[in-house]
Structure 1
Amino acid sequence: MNELLTGTASRRGMLRAGGIAAAALIVPGCMRQPLQSVGSQPAPKPASKPTAVAATPAPPPTIAGVATSLVERARAARDTHAGQLRQRDRVAIIDFTPASYRSRLALVDLANGRVDKLLVAHGIGSDPGHTAFLQRFSNDDGSEATCEGAFVADNYYVGQHGRSQRLVGLDPTNSNALSRAIVIHAAWYANKDMLISHGKLGRSQGCFAVGENELQRVFDHLGEGALVYAAKG
């Protein structure tokens, strides 16, 4: 009987020991599982960085009182002949579409859109009947006509018409400007009082003649190396 009790107790001890060992084997495996509370949400994804948007360049300023087509052509000429220009923002644009009693010479600051407009005469050969309207352009020697296109305002000198500024033609339509002495100068026949007495300006020999009191304004605006663009709008 004692042996039976002893054997039973021994078996119970073995079963108890086996249960403890089994628990020891099971618990570590459970502890390796991540603990989550009921109803927990997954961690939010980090917010993506905003995509950089390239800045849109500001449009060029509007040039009031000057034909848009001429402004665009002057800008294009400035870019085309950039290597020959020392001053790129200040230009002179001459629109020979209106009559000579209109202010056809525009001193333009392309950077900020400022405009100063003056009277300017055209050549005898461009208006033989003295109608006040330019009829034709010419690049020919001896034509006494005004030529069109892009020019660079060159150096100053004192000549037949006093203080003057040479012009170098940059296009096939005005390539003879320097040899023909097509320049900017002042003349009595380009003064404002000509409009009172004659209703129009007199004519040059192809030069861009301005009023005697206006010449310095032109020189101050252009300096040496700026663009002069003359055409019809």
Structure 2
Amino acid sequence: MLITRRGLIGSVAAMAAMPAFAPVSALAAPCGPIVDAARRALAIHGAAAGARDVVGVADFSHASSDRRFHLVDMSNGRVSSFLVAHGRGSDPEHSGWLKRFSNDEGSSATSAGVYLTAGEYQGKHGRSMRLKGLDATNNNAEPRAVVVHGAWYVSPQILAEHGKLGRSEGCFAFSEIDLPGVLEQLGPGRLITAGKFS
């Protein structure tokens, strides 16, 4: 195929006029409600946070098959999105949808509210991060041992086989591949807000 100089220039101009593709993570979430939820969390509980640069937002208005945990860079509104499981007590029929929140001990449910990230430790799920619940709706997080950890039942493979993720005991369970990046971006002293935002 013969390409002329004029044809090459026309092709380059056409490509330059095409819109740039956003990263997949940026397409995974309705960014307006997610960034708004992060801002609300900081407005209410920012004084408790040692760092305000990144906020985690778990939007449980979506099914577990969606990337519904979002890390929001507060300096530019950029959002990175990940798979996350909800508690089995929030979805007793294992439909893949969170039906209810609970703060009750023994509920095995996900709790709504704002959390403060604390220190890391090695637990039964390996590398994990403790959380402190800052609201009346999640202030039992510590006695319930609601934490951030990795889990085999959160992965693209599980989605391909079952169409939904497995369920946690109320923890924020991530894929073992995503967990290191999530923990490094969050670190201790940052906020995570959980609820139904979109």
User: Aligning the two structures, in what range does the TM-score lie when normalised by the shorter sequence?
Assistant: 0.7 to 0.9
SS of residue matched to 1:81: helix
The ranges of structure 1 where at least 4 consecutive aligned residues each deviate by more than 2 angstroms after the TM superposition are 63-74
Q: Does the 8 Å contact 2:29/2:68 carry over to 1?
A: no
Is 2:116 the partner of 1:152? yes
The separation in 2 between residues aligned to 1:92 and 1:69, in whole angstroms, is: 13
Is 2:170 the partner of 1:232? no
The separation in 1 between residues aligned to 2:136 and 2:31, in whole angstroms, is: 23
Is 2:117 the partner of 1:129? no
Question: 2:133 pairs with 159, 169, 183, which one?
Answer: 169
Is 2:189 the partner of 1:218? no
SS of residue matched to 2:141: coil
Question: 1:97 pairs with 61, 66, 72, which one?
Answer: 61
Within-5 A mapping of 1:8-157: 65-66=29-30, 68-157=32-121
The separation in 2 between residues aligned to 1:194 and 1:149, in whole angstroms, is: 28
Q: Deviations over 1:36-72 (max 9, x none)?
A: xxxxxxxxxxxxxxxxxxxxxxxxxxx9823534432
Q: Deviations over 1:130-150 (max 9, x none)?
A: 000000000000000000110
Amino acid at match of 2:172: F
- Distance of aligned partners of 1:197 and 1:183 in 2 relative to their CA distance in 1, 3 Å threshold: same
TM-score (norm 2): 0.83
- Give unmatched runs, 5+ long, in structure 1: 1-62
TM-score (norm 1): 0.71
- Give unmatched runs, 5+ long, in structure 2: 1-26
Q: What percentage of residue pairs aligned between the two structures are identical?
A: 50
The separation in 1 between residues aligned to 2:45 and 2:59, in whole angstroms, is: 20
Which of the two has higher C-alpha Rg?
Answer: 1
What displacement does 1:77 show?
A: 2.0
SS of residue matched to 2:42: helix
Amino acid at match of 1:98: H
The separation in 2 between residues aligned to 1:75 and 1:215, in whole angstroms, is: 24
